[in-house]
Structure 1
Amino acid sequence: IFQKATLASVIIVSHYGFNSETGFEAMDSLLSRGGLDSMMYTVSLIIVAMCFGGVIEKIKVLEVIAEKLLIFTKTRGSLVLTTALSSIFCNFTMADQYLAIVVPGRMFRKSYEEKHLKLKNLSRVLEDSGTLTSSLVPWSTCGAFMMTTLGVHPFAYLPFAFLNLINPIISVIYGYTGFTMEKDDEIIEIEEKKIEEKKLVENL
């Protein structure tokens, strides 16, 4: 409105970017940026990854995988370890941070409830493993963004990404020791009521 730009020019700039010619090199460098077109590499990665995730969920692949993995989740610690490894595996295979959180989250939600654990425990494990390791995978959306923005390959800064490497390990240690792993009292009460009702029925 104030620059008297046409709707067509606004759409073109939004898509292809803006070329500033103020005469000041620093200002022109700051303002001359690409639009949506310059970000299509990252955007297309996200779109493809989300489509892939939707397909494998719809054809029930997740349920089959979950059944196989649940064999190794007999204890609380093994459940946390399996969740963390699954999130990291999803980052490497599905190439998207969101899928590395959503897919294992849906797969293991019921297992956490069965072990009377609050779902915030599951959320923390997904954050520690799925979110923090995504930037270490070069072909994932986060790794691709870091590489194009910083000009540094993820494997180059990987040895120095202490938070990303240590957090998943600490999360697994918490799982085995039980430290900060809060129980869900409501689920425990419901289970106890079910047991009592079952006993009453058997006595009758």
Structure 2
Amino acid sequence: MKGNTVSEKYTYIILILTLISIISCIILKIFLFYGFVVSIVVASCLFIKSGFSSTELFTMIKKGLCDCKSLFILMALIGAMISIWMASGVVPTMLYYGLKYMQGRNFLFSAFVLTSIVSIFMGTAFGTISSIGIALLGLAKIFQIPDYILLGAIISGSFIADKTSPISSLFNLTLETVKISYKEALMSILKTLLPTYFVSGLLYYFIGKNYSLVLVNSNIDNFTSAISRNFVVSPLLLLLPLSIIIMSFWGMTMVKSVFLALIGGIIVSIGLQKANFIHIIVAVFNGYRINTNSVELNAILVSGGMMSMIEVLLIIGGAITLSTIFQETGLIIPIIKRITLRIKSREELILKTGFISSALTAISDQSVGIILPGKLLRDKYREFGIENTTLARTIADTGTIIAPLIPWNVNSLFIFITTGIPTMSYAPYTVLCYLSPMITFIFAYLHKFQNEKQATDSLYN
């Protein structure tokens, strides 16, 4: 990494144009990758004017992308696996038992719990919202729950995927950037996730008590009957997604775990669900569709396969390229140093990490909110003797989780397009997205008080 040889004038031009290009794409609903391309081209031209050669810049970009090659492979496999989980009956089984569980219960609380569980196995907030989330919203009128309140609970549950699921693209990007294993990250994240989840669930339970618990069973019965008519439903199918978590804890790389689960899903699809081999191969690459007598089921069981991940891969590739040249040319170093220069404590470092990650997510994209603080603050955490697991947890609890609260963010736009409910309506009820950063900061300061108490006790003893 070179020292910053870019003039202050060029630095401001690059950063301002980067913000304008990315935010313009989000507001105008233009493919976000184009915003990154414009930013990369402008930045590269000004870096060359500042003394960097095109060969140097190409080498930086190549190194940054090669360092994340396993992530790109994983994203493609995840796209294929979501299709296979639908074809093999895993997702239908989740829907079947989840909806059966909800009968006669507090619907709002149950929706939060169900979407949180499904999201971990699906590995995507988008996929959870656009599948079981849409199904639950369709039942909102039955329970006399306003759809924007229910959507808040669904989003809270769904976005747990982005911060904990072993097959989440964003969580794996966090692991790849911070250079830690899934097991290490999860053990750290659970320290703040469990109290956040408990408090969120408690709030949804009490809010849900204000609405009718009398359930008209016909809609759910029709839906679950459609599932059982078209799929072999068995709790044993849930062992397939569970195997990924088990293999990850055994130390197997995520690429191998997902690949083996994908092969297992193909075998189950053909052997148990009697799917056509050619159709399964097509589903792997082009996505899964089903044609039944249930319009609702047809609308939910849809996925894009490997091809659907191309846009995600391009966006992540653009974010990695931009963050790499910002880092390697030294452009971003003075800004980060200025923010972190006078940090005197662990708690302040965690607070500013959350601020940086959240700000980058707010003005651009979750990927940028992960990559830049993840890469640029590792040395600072080492300086304070803090493990990288805390860095990963702070990013996951702040920048990653607040995305659906920002009206111009791609996550909020996706939710609005999918559900028709604007951000300002559901945002007050996405409890977990608010609590998560609050609790991670509280946890950091409790750690400080605990250390001070231990020091005081040892002094008197």
Shorter-chain TM-score: which interval? 0.5 to 0.7
For residue 105 of structure 1, the aligned residue among 374, 380, 387 is 374
Work out which of the residue numbers 324, 337, 341 in structure 2 matches 1:67: 337
C-alpha contact (below 8 Å) 1:45/1:140 kept by paired residues: no
Q: 1:93 pairs with 363, 379, 382, which one?
A: 363
Unaligned runs of 5+ in 2: 1-269, 452-461
- Report if aligned partners of 1:136, 1:154 keep a CA contact under 8 Å in 2: yes
Query: What is the alpha-carbon distance in structure 2 between the residues aligned to residue 146 and residue 181 of structure 1?
Result: 41
User: In the TM superposition, what whole-angstrom CA distance separates every residue of 1:55-87 from its partner, at most 9, and x where no partner exists?
Assistant: 423432232222111224122222111111001
Alignment pair present for 1:157 and 2:444: no
SS at match of 2:406: coil
Aligned partner of 1:164: which letter?
C
Structure 1 residues 30, 80: closer, same or farther in 2, change over 3 A?
A: closer
Q: Which runs of 5+ in 1 are unaligned?
A: 183-204
Query: 2:447 — aligned with what?
Result: 178
- Which residue matches 1:123? 392
Q: Which residue identity is paired with 1:76?
A: R
SS of alignment partner, residue 356 of structure 2:
helix
Deviation at 1:32, TM superposition (A): 7.0
The Cα offsets for residues 14-60 of structure 1, whole Å up to 9 and x where unpaired, read as: 55x78876666456545677778888776665454444333423432
Q: For residue 147 of structure 1, give the secondary structure of its aligned residue in structure 2.
A: helix
| Contact 1:49/1:94 (8 A) holds in 2 | no
- 1:53 corresponding residue in structure 2: 323
Q: 1:42 to 1:160 in 2, by over 3 A?
A: farther
C-alpha distance in structure 2 between counterparts of 1:158 and 1:168, whole Å: 15
Work out which of the residue numbers 136, 140, 143 in structure 1 matches 2:409.
140
Deviations 1:162-181 (A, max 9, x none): 21112212222333342599
Rounded to whole Å, the distance in 1 between the matches of 2:301 and 2:439 is 43
Q: 1:75 to 1:144 in 2, by over 3 A?
A: same
Equivalent residues in 2 for 1:19-34 (5 A)?
A: 25-26=295-296, 28-30=298-300
Q: Is contact 1:83–1:125 with CA below 8 Å preserved after alignment?
A: yes
Aligned to 2:438: 169
Structure 1 CA distance, aligned partners of 2:419 and 2:411? 12
Aligned counterpart in structure 2 of residue 77 of structure 1, from 347, 353, 376:
347
C-alpha separation in 2, matches of 1:149 and 1:39: 18
Which segment is superposed worse, 47-56 or 103-112?
A: 47-56
TM-fit CA distance, 1:112 = 1.9
Q: 2:405 is paired with a residue of what secondary structure?
A: coil
Q: Secondary structure at the match of 2:386?
A: coil
Cα–Cα, structure 1 residues 83 and 34, in superposed 2: closer, same or farther, change >3 Å?
A: closer
Asked whether the 8 Å contact 1:174–1:180 carries over to 2, the reply is no
Closer, same or farther: CA 110–3 of 1 in aligned 2, 3 Å: closer
Question: What is the TM-score of this pair, normalised by structure 2?
Answer: 0.32
Q: Are the structure 2 counterparts of residues 136 and 111 from structure 1 closer, same or farther at C-alpha, using a change threshold of 3 Å?
A: same
Inter-partner Cα distance in structure 2 for 1:155 and 1:70? 33
CA 1:151–1:36 in structure 2 vs 1: closer, same or farther (change >3 Å)? farther
- Cα 1:66–1:151 change in 2 (3 A) is same
The 1:118–1:143 alpha-carbon spacing in structure 2 relative to 1, beyond 3 Å, is: same
**Structure with more relative contact order (C-alpha pairs < 8 Å, separation 6 or more):** 2
In structure 1, the residue corresponding to 2:402 is in which secondary structure? helix
TM-score (norm 1): 0.64
The code of the aligned residue for 1:140 comes to: N
Post-superposition Cα deviations, 1:123-162, rounded to whole Å, max 9, x if no partner, equal 2211111221122234434334433333333333221122
**Residue correspondences, number:** 178
Asked if the contact 2:416/2:423 (under 8 Å) is kept, the reply is yes
